[in-house]
Amino acid sequence: MMAGFGHGTRGYPRSRGRTWSHTGPDRATLGIIGAICAVAGFFALGIVLGPVAIFCGWQSMGRSWSGERNVPALVALVLGAIDTLLAAIALAGAATWGNGLL
């Protein structure tokens, strides 16, 4: 583009990817989705829903620990981590030698 010849992007604040895309879900919605996935992960598919909850919570927090945090995002992050850890322990326990070989 010819940005140096009087056609700069200063007059067009939404040009060339400078602002957030408004087509996806907002941060509050991601926090609620993550919290629902975290709670549902305790009952079924914890190894899948736990990381989904962690991802949604982290995206809802703005991918940083500083700044304001909404409660559903923090709940999704913490419960998703617990859910993933419990599912990994359950999978490791199911893969031991004593289950069904004798």
Residues 28-73: pLDDT tens digits? Answer: 888 999 999 999 999 988 899 999 999 999 998 887 777 776 888 8
Structure tokens at 29: 């919605």
- CB of 72 closer than 8 Å to CB of 28: yes
Torsion (CA) 60, 63, 69, 72 in degrees, nearest 10: 30
pLDDT at 64: 77
Among 14-18, 21-25, 40-44, 94-98, name the most confident range. 40-44
- Reported as a pLDDT band with limits 50, 70 and 90, residue 102 is very low
What pTM, to 2 d.p., does this model score? 0.68
